[in-house]
Amino acid sequence: MDKPVVIYEPFRAGLPPMRPYLRSLWARRTFISEFSRSELREQNYGSLFGQLWLILNPLLLSGVYFLLINVIGGRSDSARFAHLTASLFLFYLIANSLTGGVKAITSGQRLILNTSFPRIMLPISATVVALFRFAPTLVVFLGIHVMLGLPYSWQMLWALPIILIAIVMSLGMAILISCINVYFRDISSMLPYLTRSLLYLSPILYEAVHMSHRIKKFEIANPIFYLLDSWSRVVVHAEAPSAKGLIHASVFAISIFTVGTYFFLSRERDFAVRL
């Protein structure tokens, strides 16, 4: 008799057998890239500039802040303008990942109810879409950096590990929030307020060095505070990030990713009956 290709048995709470799960996820990696391309195509479907919006969006965003700081504020504070745009671009990687991730499972209902596949592909795809949107902003920021004549140094290579930490954090947040939204659908309605609060509580509209120590000590609870501070130091001021900042960001990123992934994987077999 043939050996069964697959066996379905009752599961206890906890992780699925990881080796077959990861093999299955790897076999479907093309889905993730195809989904991201389709999503970006669909987002700009029918618009005049189409995919050009990926570059136009960050350009216009930086234009608005240039207007705010240099024209309305009347100050030619190039470092502040660069800090604002650089921080905002990285912040949007995390915010877009959360926005895409929150409905990744609930909007994939038809596929989930019809096909067996590792559900974690859906929030991963949401983060890949956010990453696709983030990549052109790096080019735009490089242009701003050159135009403003900001300093350069080898310390700027720290940007690479910081981006890696930001990706792990975005992925963890997307995985976690997509799972929470299956059980509490109002999370998607609360998300805009959550991201807006994160925007104001993080060093984006201001720099971390200008904060009072009394307030700053509470920022240890903000997962992206030191990540954005390190990012600004590296790409705007061409300085090395603080060890505390890197450790804080890494610990938060790994913790959110680990907790989110565990929560998701231990619950995902339940999704089909919860949708």
Partner 1 sequence: MISLSDYNHAHTAHSLAVSVKDLGLTYTTSIDKKPTLKARLKSLGRGKKFTRTVRALSDVSIDVHYGTVLGIIGSNGAGKSSLMRVISGIVPPTQGRVEVFGSVSTLLALGVGFNPAMTGRDNVYLGGLAAGMSRHEIDANFQAIAEFSELGEAIDAPMRTYSSGMYARLAFSVAAVVEPDILIIDEALSTGDAKFKEKSLNRIKELRTADRALILVSHALATIEDICNEVIWLNNGKLMARGKPTEVIAAYREFVDARKSASSDEDV
Of 21, 66, 132, 263, the one binding partner 1 by CB under 8 A: 21
Question: In whole angstroms, what is the distance from residue 108 CA to residue 79 CA?
Answer: 43
Q: Give the residue with the Cβ less far from partner 1, 113 or 251.
A: 113
Question: In whole angstroms, what is the distance from residue 210 CA to residue 165 CA?
Answer: 24
Instruction: Kindly state the smallest distance separating residue 92's Cβ from partner 1, in Å.
Output: 21
**Binding map of partner 1 across residues 83-102, x = CB under 8 A, - = no contact:** --------------------
- CA 124 to chain centroid: 10
- The enclosing H or E element of 3 equals none
Is 4 a residue that touches partner 1 (CB under 8 A)?
Answer: yes
- The enclosing H or E element of 144 equals helix 121-148
# binding residues, partner 1 (CB under 8 A): 48
- The enclosing H or E element of 22 equals helix 18-27
Three-class DSSP category at 242: coil
Is 18 a residue that touches partner 1 (CB under 8 A)?
Answer: no
Instruction: Kindly state the smallest distance separating residue 178's Cβ from partner 1, in Å.
Output: 15
Query: Do 231 and 93 touch, CB atoms closer than 8 A?
Result: no
Is 8 a residue that touches partner 1 (CB under 8 A)?
Answer: yes
Query: Do 104 and 187 touch, CB atoms closer than 8 A?
Result: no
Residues 225-254 binding partner 1 (CB under 8 A) are none
Is 56 a residue that touches partner 1 (CB under 8 A)?
Answer: no
Is 273 a residue that touches partner 1 (CB under 8 A)?
Answer: yes
At position 82, the amino acid (one-letter code) is: A
Question: In whole angstroms, what is the distance from residue 67 CA to residue 87 CA?
Answer: 17
Looking at 84-92, 138-146, 184-192, 203-211, which segment touches partner 1 (CB under 8 A)?
A: 184-192
Query: Do 264 and 116 touch, CB atoms closer than 8 A?
Result: no
**Binding map of partner 1 across residues 106-125, x = CB under 8 A, - = no contact:** -xxxxxxxxxxxx--x----
Is 27 a residue that touches partner 1 (CB under 8 A)?
Answer: yes
Is 185 a residue that touches partner 1 (CB under 8 A)?
Answer: yes
Is 34 a residue that touches partner 1 (CB under 8 A)?
Answer: yes
Of 15, 18, 38, 157, the one binding partner 1 by CB under 8 A: 38
Is 22 a residue that touches partner 1 (CB under 8 A)?
Answer: no
Is 183 a residue that touches partner 1 (CB under 8 A)?
Answer: yes
Is 154 a residue that touches partner 1 (CB under 8 A)?
Answer: no
Largest CA distance in the chain: 81
Instruction: Kindly state the smallest distance separating residue 214's Cβ from partner 1, in Å.
Output: 32
Closest by Cα among 60, 27, 11 to 267: 11
Residue 68's alpha-carbon distances to 23, 141, 157, 202, 209, in angstroms, are: 50, 17, 30, 19, 21
Q: Give the residue with the Cβ less far from partner 1, 188 or 222.
A: 188
Please report how many Cα atoms fall inside a 13 Å half-sphere around the Cα of residue 38, on the Cβ side. Answer: 8
Residues in contact with partner 1 by CB under 8 A are 1-11, 20-21, 24, 27-28, 30-31, 34-35, 38-39, 41-42, 45, 107-118, 121, 183-187, 269-270, 272-274
